[in-house]
């Protein structure tokens, strides 16, 4: 099974070097977003020259907003502006927070909130179309992923042109007709599920912040001393103790009162904003790819006709063996020896599952949620043959609760026949592991299976 665009379409080496495109993983979204401020800086002429079209879109929107008298549905211009500013997520980019390729985009409800703030700013005397590159960050519940959806929709034809130019340097050039926003395009696609693929340059992508990360709003406020001082008066100077929502609310209020600060903020952001450093990969967003390649290269079995329990057991035992005996443990840590998040090992396991179960008929669903919360993985053949897999690092503070409370709730919600509780030991947690084993024995569960994987750092043979 091929897991990336490049594995499916086999670009020539010179094509990879020339375009420096982001090579999407096809089985899950990658945590990046398109930053509109980076568009004119792109090394791709197709993309950098598309920025005037982006601004023209918002110049037209500004003209509509200037004619709005009442910001409600009784006003024709208001209804038109909401329609113009509502965008679906385009799954073909393979970007976002999700574990699949389905997202929500910028709905009319969210659009209305951004437009009301924009309208306040316009009425205060500021009408630069570039305000739309940052005004969304001021709204609660709206993040970089929604702004990315906006850019993706507006500049879609340019991104498709960029994709087609890359395709001209690939061995495989098969295209599939697909509809996006009611327009039919011919695009490269994932042969496994026919999902379309649209490529993007790396130099317009930034890493999506975590839900509580305030960096996006701090970037805006921090670039203007006057605004920073005004926000300080509202929330206090200890921003680390202020919620992201409070900070956004305060910043929005001050910008609406003093919209002239936006000009300086935009100029500062243009000068300072940089794309994600894919070479250094400081947040280890890309390092799991090499781990998947290694683990698949060593794969010596293929599951064809097995129930989900037997299949899960085989895949998990192989995963355990690769970590404990084939140095995959190294991929659980960063270059400084720090333990990576649970999601890192889950990404590796996800890729392994898809490849080893390709001919089995078993569906692999990450973050399946039937009520009590999302279980890490669900293997399913039918409604009567479901096996769940829940991962935990041994450092997790709720290790026993995950076993005796969380997983049983998932089993009931998914109506699963079996489940595996997988704990990867990543430190001196022998006492916790012992207590976990004792709790497991006490539970005497017929459905839950406990698997401990030793993922602790090991000394090099040369140091023994």
- Helix (H) / strand (E) containing 97: none
Domain total for the chain?
2
- Helix (H) / strand (E) containing 413: helix 407-414
Report the pLDDT value the prediction gives residue 438, as an integer from 0 to 100: 96
Whole-number percent of the chain with pLDDT over 90: 59
459: left (phi over 0), alpha (psi -120 to 50) or beta: beta
Q: Is residue 13 over pLDDT 50?
A: yes
Stretch among 283-292, 384-393, 448-457 having the lowest mean pLDDT: 283-292
DSSP string, 27-62: SS-BSEEE-GGGGGG-S-HHHHTTHHHHHHHHHHHH
**Residue finishing a domain among 214, 240, 272:** 272
- pTM assigned to the model: 0.86
Give Cα 107 distance to the centre of its chain: 18
Could you tell me the residue range of the domain that residue 340 belongs to?
Answer: 287-463
Report the pLDDT value the prediction gives residue 102, as an integer from 0 to 100: 46
Q: Is residue 68 part of a domain?
A: yes
Same domain, 252 and 319: no
- Helix (H) / strand (E) containing 145: helix 144-154
Q: Is residue 279 part of a domain?
A: no
Stretch among 117-126, 183-192, 195-204, 210-219 having the lowest mean pLDDT: 210-219
Same domain, 240 and 368: no
Q: Is residue 281 part of a domain?
A: no
Q: Give the integer Cα–Cα distance in Å for 257 and 274.
A: 29
Same domain, 308 and 206: no
Q: Is residue 437 over pLDDT 90?
A: yes
236: left (phi over 0), alpha (psi -120 to 50) or beta: left
Mean pLDDT of the residues in the chain: 89
Stretch among 7-16, 91-100, 415-424 having the lowest mean pLDDT: 91-100
Q: What is the mean pLDDT of residues 61-65?
A: 95
C-alpha closest to that of 410 among 384, 430, 427, 390: 390
Same domain, 423 and 331: yes
Q: Yes or no: say if 196 and 92 are a contact pair by the CB < 8 Å rule.
A: yes
Q: Is residue 210 over pLDDT 80?
A: no
Q: Is residue 422 over pLDDT 80?
A: yes
Q: Is residue 56 part of a domain?
A: yes
Give pLDDT tens digits for 322-363: 999 998 999 999 988 999 999 899 999 999 999 999 889 999
Give pLDDT tens digits for 310-322: 999 999 999 999 9
Instruction: Compute the Cα dihedral for 390, 392, 398, 399 and give only its sign.
Output: positive
**Three-state secondary-structure class, residue 391:** strand
Report the pLDDT value the prediction gives residue 458, as an integer from 0 to 100: 84
Q: Is residue 28 part of a domain?
A: yes
**Residue finishing a domain among 218, 247, 272:** 272
Q: What is the mean pLDDT of residues 111-138?
A: 88
Band of the pLDDT at 101, cuts 50, 70, 90? very low
Q: Is residue 103 over pLDDT 70?
A: no
**Three-state secondary-structure class, residue 164:** helix
Same domain, 153 and 300: no
Q: What is the mean pLDDT of residues 452-458?
A: 93
Q: Give the integer Cα–Cα distance in Å for 430 and 432.
A: 5
Q: Is residue 129 over pLDDT 70?
A: yes
Whole-number percent of the chain with pLDDT over 70: 95
Same domain, 104 and 41: yes
| β-bridge pairing 374-382 and 363-369 | antiparallel
Same domain, 75 and 125: yes
Report the pLDDT value the prediction gives residue 107, as an integer from 0 to 100: 79
DSSP string, 285-332: SSHHHHHHHHHHHT------S--HHHHHHHHHHHHHHHHHHSSGGGGG
Stretch among 71-80, 123-132, 231-240 having the lowest mean pLDDT: 231-240
**Residue finishing a domain among 209, 238, 272:** 272
Q: Is residue 459 part of a domain?
A: yes
């Amino acid at each position: 099974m091929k897991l990336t665009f490049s594995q499916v379409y086999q670009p020539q080496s010179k094509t990879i070097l020339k375009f420096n495109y982001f090579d999407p993983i096809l089985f899950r979204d990658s945590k990046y977003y398109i930053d509109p401020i980076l568009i004119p800086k792109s090394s791709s002429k197709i993309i950098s020259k598309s920025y005037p079209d982006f601004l023209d879109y918002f110049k037209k929107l500004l003209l509509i907003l200037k004619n709005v008298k009442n910001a409600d549905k009784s006003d024709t211009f208001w209804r038109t502006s909401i329609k113009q500013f509502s965008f679906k997520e385009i799954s073909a980019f393979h970007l976002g927070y999700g574990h699949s390729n389905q997202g929500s985009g910028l709905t009319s409800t969210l659009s209305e909130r951004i437009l009301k703030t924009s309208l306040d700013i316009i009425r205060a005397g500021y009408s630069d179309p570039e305000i739309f590159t940052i005004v969304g960050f001021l709204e609660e519940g709206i993040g970089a992923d929604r702004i990315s959806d906006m850019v993706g929709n507006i500049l879609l034809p340019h991104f498709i042109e960029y994709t087609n130019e890359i395709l001209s340097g690939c061995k495989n050039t098969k295209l599939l007709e697909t509809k996006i926003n009611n327009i039919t395009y011919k695009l490269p696609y994932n042969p496994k599920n026919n999902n379309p693929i649209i490529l993007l340059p790396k130099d317009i992508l930034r890493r999506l912040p975590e839900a509580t990360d305030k960096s996006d709003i701090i970037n805006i406020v921090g670039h203007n001393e006057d605004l920073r001082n005004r926000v300080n008066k509202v929330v206090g100077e200890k921003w680390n103790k202020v919620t992201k929502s409070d900070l956004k609310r305060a910043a929005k209020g001050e910008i609406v009162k003093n919209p002239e600060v936006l000009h300086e903020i935009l100029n500062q952001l243009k000068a300072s904003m940089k794309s994600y450093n894919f070479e250094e990969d400081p947040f280890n967003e890309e390092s799991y790819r090499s781990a998947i390649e290694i683990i698949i290269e060593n794969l010596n079995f293929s599951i064809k006709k097995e129930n989900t329990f037997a299949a899960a057991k085989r895949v998990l035992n192989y995963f355990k063996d690769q970590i404990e005996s084939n140095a995959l443990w190294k991929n659980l840590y960063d270059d400084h020896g720090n333990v990576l998040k649970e999601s890192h090992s889950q990404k590796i396991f996800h890729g392994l599952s898809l490849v080893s179960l390709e001919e089995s008929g078993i569906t692999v669903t990450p973050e399946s949620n039937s009520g009590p919360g999302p279980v890490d993985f669900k293997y399913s053949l039918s409604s009567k043959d479901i096996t769940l897999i829940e991962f935990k690092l041994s450092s997790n503070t709720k290790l026993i609760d995950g076993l005796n409370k969380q997983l049983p709730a998932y089993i009931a919600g998914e109506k699963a026949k079996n489940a595996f509780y997988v704990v990867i030991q990543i430190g001196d947690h022998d006492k916790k592991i012992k207590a976990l084993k004792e709790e497991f024995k006490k539970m005497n569960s017929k459905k839950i299976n406990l698997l401990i994987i030793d993922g602790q750092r090991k000394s090099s043979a040369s140091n023994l």
